[in-house]
Amino acid sequence: MNDVNDGSSPQDRCPIKHATPLYGEEFERDPSQIYAHLRRNYEKVAPVMLEPGVPGWLVVDYTTLVAISRDPVTWSHDSRLWKDWAEGHVPDSSGLLPMMMWRPNLLFADGEEHIRLRRAVSESLDRIDQQRLGRDIRALANGLIDRFSASGRADLVSDYARLLPLLVFNRLFGLGDQEGYRLMAALTGIWDGADAERANADFERYMGDLIALKRREPGSDIPSWLMEHRADLSDEELLHQLVIIIGAGNEPTCNLIGNAMRLLLTDREFGADLTSSRLPVEDAIDRVLWLDTPMANYPFVYPRADVQLGEVTVPAGAAVGFGLAAANQSIVEKYGDQLAVSGNRAHVSFGAGPHRCPAQDLAHQISAIGITAVINRLGGLRLTVPAEDLSWRSSLFARALETLPVEFTAHPPLEESEPVWQTTESSSPPTTMSTNKRPRSERAAGSSLWSSLVRLVRGR
């Protein structure tokens, strides 16, 4: 590790010189060891490298994270305060920007503006028909399992966990299931930082098409409800509330299902308790959220002035990440694993304070039904590779498996299951949103949104 205990006090060290990288093979293999190391050396908040050449800080203590999340006077979610970015030290092509660049949505807002935007999102989510949602999730879960049930083999990440939440959100947005292929490709690029600028532009074009469709054909869906909400969202605000709903709701839920399946297959006691119903699925999910949270380091806040935290001083305008995994780990280390077995939901896996994720109940529901469907339908489930050979995606923000290859007892599809769209690498399914071509200027607007936001924040 780059950060060593050399006998000097933390405040005497140069943060950049001694910063611990949150990337690379060591971090991807076992980030929990990195977090434990940071707590031993810095206790509350530690200097880190977010990507090569980009310094930041990570909150690694539960109590400190909760306190910061409840102090909007000292700390802002507005990334236009991020000094390194504002001064041009972070390249526009950085893989961090799709997740950290300022957008006019509730995640990056403070005070009354945050209240207005959050109310629009929360009240729109509250209008979801829960009975219909439950039926849709079960139908989609069974339809996905039917695609591979007869073969006796599957990758529970790419064939299932990554698709189920995506299809659910497509329906909540009032779209056909075939739109999921286009959306999944963009979201994967954003979260992993791979060709992030193009992925971000693709994602925003998808959202622009969605808004145009719902302006023409409003329905009983989240985009239409946001459009009619008394918050009176502008088109730009509407787009970016949709960005945060689908981005924050889909990806963590995918990873939560995948991480839960891994624990089911690799932890004998956990697997036995879950499959025998001694441990309710809902409590099992909370155990995963304590021990292997799918959203590891997010969101980021920025101190309005220099802040003393323990023995270190965090300078004004520094990027300070919420180490959700590290904070949860600090509590589990203090009180023991039993805390995570009891169904305790005091974890911070969905954030804390006023910015706590408004879609956490939705994520729980999708995950619970999705995991239950796997347990009920895939008898004899087992890994096809040693557990230590499972690889993790390279991401500062997410803790997610690349693949989860399994075998099980083959069986025919359910007769009552509805078909789920098929995709191949060579072709994407037809899109319901592109039947009417938009004017050239409107088509260009989505792809130029990235650069225009950068110019806006930098004052150019």
Say what the pLDDT of residue 324 is. 98
SS3 helix, strand, coil % of the chain, rounded to 5? 55, 10, 35
Looking at residue 339, its pLDDT comes to 66
Domain range enclosing 284: 10-458
The answer to whether residue 359 is domain-embedded is yes
pLDDT at 11 (0 to 100)? 41
SS3 242: helix
pTM of the complete model: 0.85
Q: What is the DSSP string of 342-404?
A: TT-----TT--GGGS-TTHHHHHHHHHHHHHHHHHH-TT-EESS-GGG--B---SSB--BS--
What's the pLDDT at 423? 42
Q: Does a structural domain hold residue 31?
A: yes
* Residue 197: per-residue pLDDT: 77
CATH number of the domain that 360 lies in? Answer: 1.10.630.10
368: in domain = yes
Q: What is the pLDDT of residue 419?
A: 58
Gyration radius of the chain over CA positions:
22
Q: Give how far Cα 134 sits from Cα of 142, 279, 362, Å.
A: 12, 21, 10
Domains of the chain: total: 1
440 within some domain: yes
Closest C-alpha among 408, 424, 432, 367 to residue 158: 424
Distance (Å, whole) CA 201 – CA 98: 9
Residue 1 counted as domain residue = no
Q: What is the pLDDT of residue 428?
A: 37
The Cα angle at residue 403 between residues 399 and 405, in degrees rounded to 5: 135
Per-residue confidence (pLDDT) for residue 440, from 0 to 100: 33
> Does residue 2 form part of some domain?
no
Contact between 61 and 329 (Cβ < 8 Å):
no
**Residue 120 in domain:** yes
- CA 287 – CA 3 distance, rounded (Å): 30
pLDDT per position in the chain (460 positions), as tens? 444 344 444 344 345 568 999 999 899 889 999 999 999 999 899 999 999 999 999 999 999 999 999 999 999 999 999 999 999 999 988 999 989 999 999 999 999 999 999 999 999 999 999 999 999 999 999 999 999 999 999 999 999 999 899 889 889 998 877 776 677 777 777 666 667 778 878 877 877 888 998 999 999 999 999 999 999 999 889 988 988 888 778 889 999 999 999 999 999 888 888 888 888 898 889 989 999 999 999 999 999 999 999 889 999 999 999 999 999 999 998 887 666 656 678 899 999 999 999 999 999 999 999 999 999 999 999 999 999 999 998 899 999 999 999 999 999 998 765 655 544 333 333 344 543 333 333 333 333 444 444 444 444 4
Gap between the Cα atoms of 150 and 356, Å rounded: 41
Burial class of 413 by CB neighbour count within 10 A (0 to 12, 13 to 18, 19+): middle
Which DSSP category does 177 fall into?
Answer: G
pLDDT at 192: 66
In a domain, 5, yes or no: no
Q: How high is the pLDDT of residue 18? A: 80
Residue 205 is predicted with a pLDDT of: 81
What is the C-alpha to C-alpha distance for residues 191 and 392, in angstroms, rounded to an integer?
13
